[in-house]
Structure 1
Amino acid sequence: MSTITLSGLFVYPVKGARGITLDRAQATSLGIEHDRRFMIVDPDGEFLTQREHPEMALIETTIEGEALILGAKGHGPLRLPLRPEGPTNRRVRVWSDKCSAVFVGDEAAAYLSDYLGRRVELVYMPADAARRVDGRYARRKERVAFADGFPFLLTSEGSLADLNARLAEGVPMDRFRPNLVVRGAPPWGEDAWTSLSIGSVVFHSRKACSRCSVITVDQATGARGQDPLATLATFRARANRVYFGWNLVAEEEGELRVGDAVTLLARSYDEAR
């Protein structure tokens, strides 16, 4: 069996905005440190994503020390605290989950409202306000920030290569917005994984990741097409959903580095699959 390694690490501080490529990262109970702790919402607290607003892909994010820096076309950089303080009294919703968040402030709201052409706000989730992972898949009351449903998303270079071989024009991995990318596994081999370690951190697969129209958005331009979703639907669909990648939870915290060995473990959570 070929050696499997961690080939990519990514964090997305603002849900739906551009991510950051990392060489190393801290795996926490809520995901990669700082992952999706911020979210753009409308005045009613409903979350915005690239599904309806593909131009969100062009909102750049940078972390410098204790600052989050936003950048958007036609706008200068906006520097914000990486851990905003304030009352956790903004009621917001992610899918069917209602939770409380911190309003980041009028400056961020005005900046993003001007870029998106509609009134929005930026909110932040403190660790103590995190949501519970779907009880159908949780084993230890795992929590998640503003990610769709789970703390970590893993994808495989082998699976992407197989998909790209079926496309008229291949797509990069950023279409799938993963946190963890692995190299050296056979195409779709991750479907059989139940537990694995990356470096010293043990992860458990909880649910295959169903995909939506976000993967049709070019993350470099914000343009939308039909693929790779249309092609994936021809061979990776079941029960009217299309799958690419796996949602994971971590058993403990620890540092991850690109190049870390990935070890498949002989533990099983088959009932969660």
Structure 2
Amino acid sequence: MVASEGGKPLIWIKNNHVSLTDHYYEYLQSPAVAAVLCILIGPLLYSLAQQTFRRPRSPVKRKQDLYRLGLSKRSNLDEQSRPPSETSDARVKALFTYPIKSCRGIELAASEVGATGLKYDRLFTFAQLVSSPDESRQPRSRKQAVNHDWKHEWRFITQREFPRLALLRTELWVPSRKSQDPMKKRKKSSWAGNGGCVAVRFPLEPGFNPFGLRTETMTFRVPLMPSSEWARNRGYSRETMTIWKDQASAINVTNDIPPDTLEKLKSFLGVSNTLGLFRVDDRNRRAVTRSLPKDRPEESYSVGFGDAFPLHILSLASVRAIAKDLPDKSKDRGRLDAKRFRANIYLDGVPAYEEDEWKKVHIGRCIKRISDQRSFEETDGEYHVACRTARCTLPNVDQDSGVRDANEPYTALGKTRKVDKGAYPHPCLGMQMIPLFQQGLLRVGDEVKVVETGEHSYEKMFG
């Protein structure tokens, strides 16, 4: 007997009628105890079920004549750390376009290519409004110094300052063939009537969020090719935005983001200044002024919100070589994710760093006008390999977690990849390219034909 009251046993050992387990089982069956457990545990179980079984709602209704562009399941980079067979040819392993600069990219099986790069690449960018003293207007006296004139300018932001941009997932929804029927009139207020849209998702966590069960997915959408009617109704404005040393003309499309969503986005990213979203001004793109093809002095080239050039190409073997150089204590040693380097074109079948010597390559197909004729011909897509890619600390950001490592892989790059005197003290990895045509197509699996090789010397952006 374990306990007694008034000479009567309350709990008997197992050999005498009632076991301790049976006692607690009977206790839990009590209506009062069951009610308390429901009150305490019920909401937790409900939240868990909601997060586990509820699939995020699509940001776009299918009936709006749109379809989602890009791979949605298996990635062509799933086995990127595994070297290809020694007999394999140089080929395109994966393609990525980044609709919003520094946000998560979209993997493609194929992509249209224009003079400014992959279609939809770096079409948008976030920027913050920065205030600083206007040095051109000095105060007349010490008393007036406190009322010094200030200048305000929009400056683009990237993962360099706000690593959680990596967690902003983007989706491309483009008009279907059905909606492109010339006999079908599209409403200018519809997504299809505005070239489709880019949908952006980000997770919102409240201050108290046990087990992550209260995480909410926020979503907003922006048209890809807004009509003049849409732009007028939404109050778009053309403004100047600073991107590196350029004063770029850009379209402020911030009004497409609901104000409460914009405030939550600022909090999520850690931006304290006014935050805005900008679209490339197609009539006033930034000029490419460095490392131009010398055999085409009469031609001009432009870029959207890419750092300086239309395309970035990188071999997976080069990434694997850097992964081996990481310190033993690094969790990424031997399996560094190539997506950290945010290339448009990833290659396989190329020895590590061999792309450093390329000057001109043929990849995929393009359409060119026949000289002195009005007809066109299909031919190999020709690209000018402009220069090496000078690296900053952005690849230190884990693209899955949005967390920036204090050292790697930038430190490892600094030890072995300071290979270009022009880029010094920055290390280099990957190459920048300029398409030498107006309309072309790239596919995963396309062969890379090296037409010309030679030395590169990086031309600094800042003198």
Q: Report if TM-score (shorter chain) is over 0.5.
A: yes
Moved over 6 A (4+): none
**Residue 77, structure 1, aligned to residue 219, structure 2:** yes
Q: Secondary structure at the match of 1:73?
A: strand
Deviation of 1:108 after TM superposition, in Å, equals 2.1
Give 3-state SS (helix, strand or coil) of 2:403's partner.
coil
The count of residues paired between Structure 1 and Structure 2 equals 272
Range with greater deviation from structure 2 (111-120 or 51-60): 111-120
Query: Helix, strand or coil for the counterpart of 2:382?
Result: strand
1:147-158 matches, cutoff 5 A: 147-158=306-317
Listed as ranges, the gaps of 5+ residues in structure 2 are: 1-86, 130-152, 175-195, 205-216, 294-298, 366-380
Kindly state the Cα deviation for residue 116 of structure 1 after the two structures are TM-superposed: 2.6
Do the aligned residues in 2 keep the contact of 1:36 with 1:145 (CA within 8 Å)? yes
Q: Aligned ranges for residues 25-44 of structure 1 at < 5 Å?
A: 25-43=111-129, 44=153
**1:59 matches 2:168:** yes
Which residue number in structure 1 is paired with residue 292 of structure 2? 138
Structure (1 or 2) with the greater strand fraction? 1
Task: Confirm or deny: 8 A CA contact 1:84 1:124 kept in the other structure.
Answer: no
Q: Deviations over 1:75-122 (max 9, x none)?
A: 422122112344662110110000111111324273344223232010
2:346 is matched with 181
TM-score (norm 2): 0.56
**RMSD of aligned alpha carbons:** 1.9
CA contact (8 A) 1:88 1:100 kept: no
Name the one with the larger helix percent. Answer: 2
In structure 2, relative to structure 1, the CA distance for the partners of 1:267 and 1:222 (3 Å cut) is: closer
Higher relative contact order, chain-length normalized (CA < 8 Å, sep 6+):
1
- Using the TM superposition, give the Cα deviation of residue 207 of structure 1 relative to its aligned residue in structure 2, in angstroms: 1.2
SS in 2 for 1:17: coil
- Give CA deviations for 1:226-267 in whole Å, capped at 9, x if unaligned: 111110100101520111110000011211000011101137
Give deviations 1:27-57, integer Å, cap 9, x for gaps: 1111100100101011221011111100111
1:240 aligns with 2:425: yes
Contact residue 388 and residue 456 of structure 2 kept, 8 A: no
d(CA) in 2 for partners of 1:195, 1:71: 38
Query: For 2:453 and 2:323, how far apart are their aligned partners in 1?
Result: 32
Q: Which residue of 1 aligns with 2:72?
A: none
Partner of 2:246: 97
Q: CA–CA distance in 1 between the matches of 2:433 and 2:92?
A: 15
Identity of aligned residues (%): 28
Which residue of the other structure, out of 443, 451, 455, is the alignment partner of 1:265?
451
CA distance in 1, matches of 2:457, 2:203: 46
Q: Which moved more, 1:115-124 or 1:252-261?
A: 115-124
8 Å CA contact retained: 2:388, 2:458: no
